[in-house]
Structure 1
C-alpha cells in the first residue's frame, strides 16, 4: 500500500522544526506506510508532500502553515466529515493513520500530545459508513518450512475467523470465492497469489511459527488442537498481529475474536473465481448485483442473514446428510406458512447482532447500540416459541442452540434510557433509579436549577427592578442581568461579573454557591454516567461468545425462512440426490434458469438427463438458449447443494465436488493474455483439476483460433474428458463434427435446440431435443440482427462457393479412397505405411511421446503439429482423418 513519502517530506521541511511539526514527522516516520492524518483542533491536517498529494486526490484546498522555521504546504479535512475523505484515500490504495490529540489542549503545558489511535486499511475498517452489508474480510496467506500453504480470513466487524490449508490452486480458489478486501502476504510468497484486492506485503509482521503460536495463544487456549499444519498457525498469527496493530491494541486485545474455525475446502463445492463470475452468482456482467443468483434468493430480513446466505452460496455443501438437514428445514417451513411468516416478522425486528456485539466487545458501542442489542435479544424467546410448534430436528437443534440471555436484556433495560443520545460524554444515558450516587447528584442539580428558576421572581420583588433577568452561559456561568437605567437600584451584595453595552451582569454569594453545586453535580454526574456505561458495556461484553452464538442461529433461521419463502413464491421443488458425481446422474424435468425466468415473461423449461451418457454435445443456432441452458443446470446444482429448493418440476442430482465453467470471450490485456490464451488457460485448469465427481460447462471451446485448430482442440478436449476424467459435462459448440462422437464414444450424447424456419424467418423455440442440430443458421441470425442486405447476399454467395468446393473435394477424396482400398498394405512392412503418410519420422515422434508426463494443453499442441505435418504431405485431411476413425467407447 502507499505511504506518505516521509523521507522526501522531511528532507524538504525538517531543517529546524517546531515541536508540533517534529511530532508530526516522528509519527510519519513511525507509520511510514500510511497517510498520517494529524489532528489540529477540529481538523485532520497533512503537511508538505503529503499535503500536496491529499489536495490533488481529495480535491481540497492546498494552503500553507507559516511559523518561525518557515512556510509549509498544508491541507486538512474537517474531523466531523472525515469519513468520506478516508474512503477516497482507501480506494486510492493508502493506509490511513489517525493521529488524535490524546491530551486536552487547555491542560497542555507545551505541545499537545498526539498518538496514532488506529490505522485504517481496506480490510480493517470498522466505521459503519465505510462498511458495506457484506463481510469485510482481511485475509493472510502463510507458508511453513515444509512449503505447505494456508489462508486465514478475519472479519473484524463481526469477529468471524476461519482458516484452511491446501495447494496453491486451492488457496487461490479460496481467495477468489471469499473475495477479501485486503490480503496480507508473507514477502517470500509475493507473486504466487493473484487477487483483485489490496495486497499488503509487510516485513514488519512476523511470519515466524513461534511468534504466531504466542499470538494465537492469546485467543485460543490450545492452538495445536485447532490447526493441522504449521502454515495455518502462521497465517492466523500474522493476521492477528496485523489486526492488533491497525486497531492499536495489545496482543489478545481483539475481544470480538472468540474462536478460530478450521475448515477443509474439500468439504464444500469448489467454485473458482471464473465460475463465480461466469455464472453471475454475485455480480452481473455490468458489475452490479442486479439479476444475479444472490439477488433472486435474497429475501432475508436481517443484514447478518444476508451475509450468511452469501456465505452458503459461496460454499455449497458436499456432505449429503448436511444438505438433507437444510432441505428438511426448508421443506418444513414451506409446509408451515404460519410459522414461516411468524419467524420472518420476528426477525424483521432484529438488528445486526453480529456487528453490534463486536462493537460492544471492542469498546466501540454507544448507548444506542446497547439498546439495539437488547431489542434483538428480546425476540429470542418468541423465536424459540415459534419453533416449538413444528416437528423438524434441524429446526429443533437451532432452537436448542439459542442461549438464555434474559439477564443481559434486563441489565441493559434497567441501565440505559429508552432513547439515549449518541454521545457518551454528554450525559442523559443512564436511567433514574439505577445508581444511588447518580440519583443524588441529579437531585442536587435539579434542586439547584429549581432555586435558580425561582430566583428571578424573588429578586425582582426584592429590588423592584422589573427588567431583571437570571441567565447562564458556558463562559461566565449563572448571572443576574440589570439594564443600565436600573443600575442605581442594584443591591450592595451584587458583585459585577460582566459589562455589556446596555447592561451589567452580576452574581451574589448565594448564586455562586448554587452555581458551584449545580455545575459540580452536573460534571460529576456526567463522569459517573460514562463510568457506569463502560461498566455495563464490559459486563455485556463478557457474554460475547454466547451472543455471537445467538447471532449465528438467527442468521441461519433468516436464511432458511428466506429459502422457503422463495421456493413458495417461485414454485421451486425439493431436489433429490443420487450419489456423488462419479456415479450419480443428473435428471431434471422442466428445469428453469432461476434468474432469467424472473426477467423473461415466457421462459421455456427444459429437461436434462446425464446418466450413463455423461457428456452432452449441445448444438443449435446462436440465441437459441444453449448458454442459458447450461448455466441453469449449473445453478440448479449449486442451489441444491447449498440447501435450497430448485426451479424445476423434478430434480434428481448427484453431489459434485466442483463446478467448472469455460464460457464467454474476454481478454486480459493487463495480464498479457489474449482472448484465446485466456480460454486455453481456463481449459487447462479444468483438464488438470476436474474429477469424475465434477460438473463441467464448456461453451464454444476452440472458437478463438483457426477452424482446423479449434475443431481439433474441441475434439481432443471431449475425448480427454471422456477417456481420462469422466466428469459430467455439457459442451455447447458450433463444430457440428463433434456430434459424430456420439457414435464413437459410449458416454457421449447429442442434444440440440430447435428452430422453426419459414423461408428466411427464424423462430427460436428454446426447446431441447435429442440428437444433433441440422445447422447453425448463422446467415439467418445475421439477417435477424439487422446486417445489411448486400452483406447477407455476399455471405450467401460465398457460402454457395464453399459448398461447391467441398463437394468437389469430397468426390476427389472418394476416388482416392477407392484407390487406397485396392492397395495391399503388408502389416510387416513399416516402409509402406511411412511412404503412404509421407513422413518417415512420424512414427518415431509418436513413439517417443511420454503420455504420462504430457499436460492436456501440451497434448493438444502435439496433436495440432502432427495434423499439420500430415496436411503438409498429403494435402487437406478428408473424412475422419481429422480425428479417430472409430472408438469402441
Structure 2
C-alpha cells in the first residue's frame, strides 16, 4: 500500500489503462489483470521467464523507484508500458519498493514452461509487506521483524476489569514470520501502547473496534494495514489459533484470540499458504507485568536503542553487544527490552555471567564456537516453508556440528572448586542440557546433501553419492555415456582418418560429429546429416544417438529424482522444527550471557546484589555509554532508600542528567541479567522506570515541549508505584517561572505523599531544596563546581546538600554567547538581591511572604563551605575564604 503522496490506486489493483479493454487482452495480460484484481492492495510482479514484470501504471512506478528502464510491450491488442527486474537479484529491487510504501505480490510460474500446453499457469506465491519479510537480504540479521495485530473487546471478568482501567481490554499478538516466534498478551490501552513501542512492529493490523495506536518514539515506525475485518471475528480467529495451539479458548482471552487469529491468518496469506505455518509453533502468552516496564519515554531518554544526538551515535545496546551470532544479538535486544522482575531468574543469569567471567578459557572457546553458528531460527523458517535450498541444509548441518563442542566446553573448565569439580551455575547446567545435538538430523543432512552443493535445486549435483541406489545408477549411466562420447572423437578420427573431426554438443541439436567440407568425401556411410554450416557439416551416428538418449534420459531422470529426494530430506528436517527452534533458543541465550560476561570483564563491571528492602546503593557508579566516549568520566555514589526523593541541583553541564540516567541504567542492566558499571552495587527489583528527562516536542502531533513534558509527568503521577524508579528532570521549566515552580513543587509533594516511589528530581528551582526540611524522605544532592578568577570548573561530583548557584551565565559564556550579552546578564544578576529568589509560598510563610525557610547569609556560607575543594586550597586561600565568610555573617 502506497504511502502518502503516491497515487495508490494507479499502481495497485487492475491497471486503469487496461480496465476498459480487459476483455480484449492477450491470455497472458488477462492473467496479469486477474491477479491484480485478486490483490488490490499490492503491486503485482509477474514472472515472465527470468524476470518479474509489471505493466502500465505499475510499470511506471517500478521504473521510477527501482531505477530500471521503462520499455513497451506491443501485441495485437495495443501497446503497454512494461518494466522488469531480474529474478535472481530481486531482493535489491524489492527493498526500495517496500521503502516507498508498497506491498508487493510475487506471481510465480507454478508449472514448467516446457511442459505447459498453452499459457503457463501463474499464482501469487508470496505477498511481501514490511512486517512479513522473510528474505535475509531484506532483514536485519540482529533484529526481530514483527507484524502485530490489536483487537478490542470488553473485559469479561474481574481480573480483566482491574487491568483495563478505561473499561476495555485490548488484545495484542505479534509474529516474526521469518523465525516463527509468536507473542500474545492483553491489557488496557496504555499498556498495549507501551508494548507496541517495545515490540516496534514493522506493520500493524487493527480490528475495527480497537483503539488507534501511533508510534511515540523517533526510532519506531509502523505501517498500518486495514486487514480483512472478518479475520478478527472471534469464532473465526479462535479456529485459526486452534490450528497452532491446543484449547485456545481456555488458554487465551477473547481479545487475545481475536488478535492472534487475525495476525496468523495474515501471515499465512502473505506466505501463500492455505494452511498453518508449521514452524510457527511457539504461540506464547505472556503478562506484561512479568517484566520491568519501560515506556516510550524511558526507551528514548535512556537511549537503549535510539541515540538522541551524541557524536558517535552509541546506544546502550551498541555498548553491550559483544554477541557473535544473529541469534544472540536478537536475544540480547529482547532481554534489554524486557528486563526481568523475578529475583530468582535475575540471580540465575547473574550466576551464569559470573561463572563465564571466572572461566575465561571456557568463555572464549564458547564464543569461538558460537561465531560459526548460522541463524537457525530463520533457517528453520525457510526449511518449513519449503523455500530452503541445499546450502541452507548444509548451514544447518554446520551449526549442529558445533553443538557437541559447546556441550563439552560447558562440561569442562579451567576453574575448579575445592572438591576439584568445575563450578556450575544452574543456568549453565540447564543450557548444557538444552543443547540438543540433533544427531539424527545432522546425520541425515550429511548423508544426503553434497558438501558444497549448488544453489539451484532442480539441476542436480545436490544429493550425495551413495545416499540413493537408484540415483547412483542413473548417474553412472550418465557418467558412462559422457565418457563414451568423450572417447568418440579419438575413435572416429582413427576410423575415418579425418584429423580435424570434432565431437561436440549444443542445446538445440544435441551431440554431433563435425566434418569440414574438404573432408566430406571420407565420411562413413553410417553418418547421418544433422546440421549444415557454412564450411562444414554436422552428423550423428545411430550409436551416438542411442548414447545421447541414454545420457539425456539418465540426466533428466537423475535431476528429477534428486529434487524429489531433496524435498523429502527437507521435509524430514522441517518436521523437527520444534527441536531446532529449542536449540536455537539455547544458543541465543548462551551467546547473550557470554556477551554480558565479556563486557563485564573488559569494562570492570561488578555483580549487583539483589536486595529486598527497595534501597538503591551504588558505589563508584558509571554511565555505561558515556564512560566509553569520555576518558575523564567521574564515577559517583548513590544511596536511595525506598520511597526517597533526591532533589538534585547544580550547574548545567555538571552531570545531573547523566547521573540520573546511569542509576536507571544500572537497574535496567541488573534486571536484564548483566553486571553493572560500578565498584559495588546493591539494587532492588523495580517494576517500572519512568523518565521525564530532556526537552523535546512533537509539533506534527500538536504538542509543544511543555505539553509533552506534562504528558510524560501525567503518566508518572498516574502509574508509578512504591516499587518504581522515577527520573524527573527540570519539571516545569517549559513555562513561566512561577507556574513551573508551582507544578514542580506540587509534583514532588504528590510523589512523596501518594506514590512513595523512589525518585531522582533534578531542578534549577533552588527554592525546592527547602522540601528536604519539610518532608521526611526528601533530601538534597548537588553537583560541585569551583570558581577561580571568574572561571568555573565543573567537578562532576555529587555531594549532599543543595547547590548555591546554577552558574547559568558562566555556562552561557562557555557556550560562546557574545561578551556584551554575558556582561549585561551579569549586570542584571548584580542588581538582583540574591537573598530574594522567586519561590512558592508555603503554609508556614510569614506575612512578608518570605517564610522562615528563606535563604539567608548563613545558608550561603554553608553552601560556600561545602563547595570548597580542600585538596586544591592553599593555606592562604583558606584564610582569605574564612575571612570573607566571617565578614558576610558580620554584615548580616
TM norm structure 2: 0.88
CA change 1:558–1:288 in 2 (3 A) is: farther
Partner of 2:13: 6
CA change 1:15–1:738 in 2 (3 A) is: same
CA change 1:383–1:288 in 2 (3 A) is: farther
1:411 offset after TM fit, Å?
A: 1.1
Contact in 1 for aligned 2:152/2:209 (Cα 8 Å) = no
Q: What is the correspondence of 1:555-634 to structure 2 with a 5 Å cutoff? A: 555-579=588-612, 583-611=613-641, 614-634=644-664
Choose 401-410 or 763-772, whichever is displaced more. Answer: 401-410
SS in 2 for 1:139: strand
How far apart, in 1, do the equivalents of 2:312 and 2:524 lie?
Answer: 76
Partner of 1:833: none
SS in 2 for 1:211: helix
Unaligned runs of 5+ in 2: 3-7, 156-167, 413-421, 856-892
CA change 1:805–1:279 in 2 (3 A) is: closer
Contact in 2 for aligned 1:378/1:406 (Cα 8 Å) = no
CA change 1:53–1:309 in 2 (3 A) is: same
How far apart, in 2, do the equivalents of 1:778 and 1:571 lie?
Answer: 36
Partner of 2:397: 374
2:684 counterpart of 1:677: no
1:75 offset after TM fit, Å?
A: 2.5
1:103 offset after TM fit, Å?
A: 3.0
How far apart, in 1, do the equivalents of 2:312 and 2:673 lie?
Answer: 22
Post-superposition Cα deviations, 1:773-806, rounded to whole Å, max 9, x if no partner, equal 1100011111111211111111112222333895
Choose 370-379 or 66-75, whichever is displaced more. Answer: 66-75
CA change 1:633–1:546 in 2 (3 A) is: same
SS in 1 for 2:684: strand
Partner of 1:153: 174
Q: What is the correspondence of 1:390-401 to structure 2 with a 5 Å cutoff? A: 390=422, 391-401=424-434
Partner of 1:432: 465
How far apart, in 1, do the equivalents of 2:388 and 2:61 lie?
Answer: 34
Q: 1:467 aligns with which of 482, 500, 507?
A: 500
1:708 offset after TM fit, Å?
A: 1.1
Q: 1:81 aligns with which of 85, 89, 98?
A: 89
Partner of 2:285: 262
Contact in 2 for aligned 1:471/1:480 (Cα 8 Å) = yes
Partner of 2:862: none
How far apart, in 2, do the equivalents of 1:183 and 1:64 lie?
Answer: 37
Post-superposition Cα deviations, 1:272-292, rounded to whole Å, max 9, x if no partner, equal 112111111112124999421
Q: 2:384 aligns with which of 361, 369, 394?
A: 361
How far apart, in 2, do the equivalents of 1:42 and 1:442 lie?
Answer: 28
SS in 2 for 1:188: coil
1:66 offset after TM fit, Å?
A: 2.5
Ranges of 4+ aligned residues in structure 1 off by more than 6 Å: 880-883
How far apart, in 2, do the equivalents of 1:269 and 1:285 lie?
Answer: 22
SS in 1 for 2:24: coil
Post-superposition Cα deviations, 1:642-681, rounded to whole Å, max 9, x if no partner, equal 1111000111111100001111212112211111111111
2:335 counterpart of 1:312: yes
1:601 offset after TM fit, Å?
A: 0.9
2:324 counterpart of 1:301: yes
Q: 2:777 aligns with which of 710, 731, 747?
A: 747
How far apart, in 1, do the equivalents of 2:584 and 2:762 lie?
Answer: 44
CA change 1:802–1:511 in 2 (3 A) is: same
How far apart, in 1, do the equivalents of 2:667 and 2:506 lie?
Answer: 70
How far apart, in 1, do the equivalents of 2:257 and 2:854 lie?
Answer: 54
SS in 1 for 2:833: helix
2:718 counterpart of 1:692: no
Partner of 2:263: 239
Post-superposition Cα deviations, 1:191-211, rounded to whole Å, max 9, x if no partner, equal 255562111111355111111
How far apart, in 1, do the equivalents of 2:121 and 2:410 lie?
Answer: 56
1:613 offset after TM fit, Å?
A: 6.5
Partner of 2:153: 144
How far apart, in 1, do the equivalents of 2:709 and 2:517 lie?
Answer: 91
Instruction: Report the aligned-residue RMSD.
Output: 2.2
Q: What is the correspondence of 1:27-46 to structure 2 with a 5 Å cutoff? A: 27-46=35-54
Choose 116-125 or 59-68, whichever is displaced more. Answer: 59-68
Contact in 2 for aligned 1:613/1:749 (Cα 8 Å) = no
Contact in 1 for aligned 2:104/2:128 (Cα 8 Å) = yes
SS in 2 for 1:189: coil
Partner of 1:199: 224
Choose 352-361 or 501-510, whichever is displaced more. Answer: 352-361
2:239 counterpart of 1:214: yes
Partner of 2:144: 135
Q: What is the correspondence of 1:378-777 to structure 2 with a 5 Å cutoff? A: 378-389=401-412, 390=422, 391-579=424-612, 583-611=613-641, 614-777=644-807
How far apart, in 2, do the equivalents of 1:205 and 1:513 lie?
Answer: 61
Q: 1:327 aligns with which of 328, 350, 355?
A: 350
Post-superposition Cα deviations, 1:305-351, rounded to whole Å, max 9, x if no partner, equal 11001000000000111101111111111112222122112212211
2:199 counterpart of 1:166: no
Q: 1:183 aligns with which of 192, 198, 204?
A: 204
Contact in 2 for aligned 1:187/1:203 (Cα 8 Å) = no
2:74 counterpart of 1:66: yes
Partner of 2:868: none
Choose 284-293 or 15-24, whichever is displaced more. Answer: 284-293
2:365 counterpart of 1:342: yes
SS in 1 for 2:537: strand
Partner of 2:34: 26
Contact in 1 for aligned 2:207/2:229 (Cα 8 Å) = no
